[in-house]
Amino acid sequence: MPRFPEVAESSVGLSDAVFSRLVARARERGGKVYPLHVGDTYLDPYEGARAEAIRSVDHQRLHNYSPVQGEPALLDAILAHVDRRSGAALDRELVQVVSGATAGIAVVVDSLLSPGDELLLLSPFWPLVRGTTQRRGARAIEVPFWDRLESMGDAAAVEAYLESFVTPRTSAIYVNTPHNPTGHILAARHLDAIASVAERHGLWVISDEVYEELWFDEEPASAWMHPRLRSRSVVVHSVSKAYGLAGARVGFVHGPATAMQAIRGVQTFVTYCAPRPFQLAAAKVLTEGRGWIASTRAHYRELAHRAADALDVPRPPGGTFLFVDTRGRRRDGESAFAFLERCVDRGVLLTPGTASGKDFEDWVRLCFTTLPPDDLHEALARLRQVLDDR
């Protein structure tokens, strides 16, 4: 039991400083820094959803609490959005607005898992999800997955592979597609395998849809709409990524009744409600922002291709990142961290692959939507020099 000055075991080691050593080095260096490690956008959001468009003269009690479940206008917009995107008519009662997907996934993890339970994280993964699991006192089980999608074989082989990570304490599988950091999109055979393992062991599936609008080829079906996943999926969305509203802190969750009852209860005690002005902004973008999304998608696709071509890696099918294997591309004997330092010395900050899983020390992540195109172009040229200077 922790007593002053000790803190809870589950919070020891959690920190906001995933990138701190590299950022400190960049600061010491001075000069212009290209922060490709930040997963955000340089674009302003759809005009009608900007902070200045949501005015207290237009909305009574704009700065008050909203209902815990969410603003009625946003709930309407969510139902229409999910129907359009996924062809699903959700039960309004089973939708919960959350303060962004980060808090939303924390609320989901708190609602579904008890301390000691295990969450399977297909790795590499979004860097925060491991800490989200740890802070619950639950165990994050890293399943190397996304770097071997093609070589894993058919659904039966994928199923057998996943099966080998399941224990009596496994509660859930976390699935994120389109994916941070690889940009990959799961194929039907992967979803079939996940469904079979989840069915066999009675697992929840936490489906992270924050990149649902960011696909660059054919629009993929929503993973949670797989006929054997839907009934056990708790689905988390956000307006941060495709909608350029990361600072708004608005997302939403839907799923089966038992989960949603717990989620609404936990949410009440965590943030109570998401920021009301930005719930109204989210409602606006979901109802009026289709044109903005379509042009943003086309623009991101171009940036994705430009970045991939500049670094000689495959073009990602979605998302906002490239995840690059530096093996064979570093200097002889150079560690992955020394490589990252060499990038910083050229002014370019990248994310270490270990932020996305313990097996990814040799990889680095970069976001191709954070900087305006001219800056991205310059940052890529500098990275190219680092890669060529062997």
Ligand X SMILES: Cc1ncc(COP(=O)(O)O)c(C=O)c1O
Residues 84-103 that bind ligand X (CB under 6 A): 100-102
What is the Rg, in whole angstroms, of the alpha carbon atoms belonging to the chain? 21
3-state DSSP assignment of residue 95: strand
Q: Is 111 in the site for ligand X (CB under 6 A)?
A: no
State the nearest-atom distance from the C-beta of 328 to ligand X, in Å: 27
Where on the phi/psi map is residue 348: left (φ > 0), alpha (ψ -120 to 50), or beta? beta
Q: 86, 177, 180, 196: which one contacts ligand X (CB under 6 A)? A: 180
Name the minimum Å distance from CB 202 to ligand X.
25
Among residues 185 and 246, whose Cβ is nearest to ligand X?
Answer: 246
Closer residue to ligand X (CB): 86 or 240: 240
Total residues belonging to the chain:
390
Instruction: Pick between residue 283 and residue 386 the one whose CB is nearest to ligand X.
Output: 283
CA distances to 131, 144, 176, 329 from 357, in Å: 11, 8, 14, 20
Q: Which is nearer to ligand X, 118 or 209 (CB)?
A: 209
Amino acid at 230: R
Residue with smaller CB distance to ligand X, 107 or 203: 107
Residue number with CB closer to ligand X (196 or 240): 240
User: Residue 62 CB, nearest distance to ligand X (Å)?
Assistant: 22
Rounded to whole angstroms, how far apart are CA atoms 171 and 120? 8
Give dist(CA 149, CA 235) in Å, integer.
22
Q: How many residues make contact with ligand X (CB under 6 A)?
A: 13
CA–CA distance, 94 with 99 (Å, rounded to integer) = 17
- Binding to ligand X (CB under 6 A) within 215-254 occurs at 238, 240, 246, 251
Which amino acid would we find at residue 101? A
Q: Output 214 or 376, the one with its CB closest to ligand X.
A: 214
CB of 240 to ligand X, least distance (A): 3
b/e sequence 50-64, b meaning 16+ C-beta within 10 Å = beeebeeeeeeeeee
Q: Considering only residues 119-138, where is the footprint of ligand X by CB under 6 A? A: 126
Is the separation of the CB atoms in 357 and 133 below 8 Å? Answer: no
Tokens representing residue 118 in the block: 């295990």
**What mask of x and - would describe binding to ligand X in positions 182 to 221, judged by CB under 6 A?**
--------------------------x-x-----------
Q: Which is nearer to ligand X, 140 or 387 (CB)?
A: 140
Residue 124 or residue 347: which is nearer to ligand X going by CB?
124
Q: How far is the CB of 176 from ligand X (least distance, A)?
A: 5
Query: What is the smallest separation between the CB atom of 308 and ligand X, expressed in angstroms?
Result: 19
DSSP 130-188: HHHHHTTT-EEEEEE-GGGTGGG-SHHHHHHHHHTT--TTEEEEEEESS-TTT-----H
- State the minimum distance, in angstroms, from the CB of residue 28 to ligand X: 27
Beta partners for 115?
none
Please state the closest distance from residue 92 (CB atom) to ligand X, in A: 21
Residue with tokens 């898992």: 113
Cβ distance to ligand X smaller for residue 101 or 260: 101
In angstroms, give the least distance from the CB of 351 to ligand X: 11
Pairing between β-strand 251-254 and β-strand 233-238 as defined by DSSP bridges:
antiparallel
Residue 39 in the binding site for ligand X (CB under 6 A)? yes
Judge whether 337 and 162 are in contact, CB under 8 Å. Answer: no
Listed residue (262, 259, 253) closest to 210, CA to CA: 253
271: contact with ligand X by CB under 6 A: no
Q: Which of 371, 383, 356 is nearest to 181 (CA)?
A: 356
Q: Which structure tokens are listed for 354?
A: 């270990």
Considering the complex, what minimum distance in angstroms separates the CB of residue 368 from ligand X?
14
Contacts to ligand X by CB under 6 A: 39, 100-102, 126, 176, 180, 208, 210, 238, 240, 246, 251
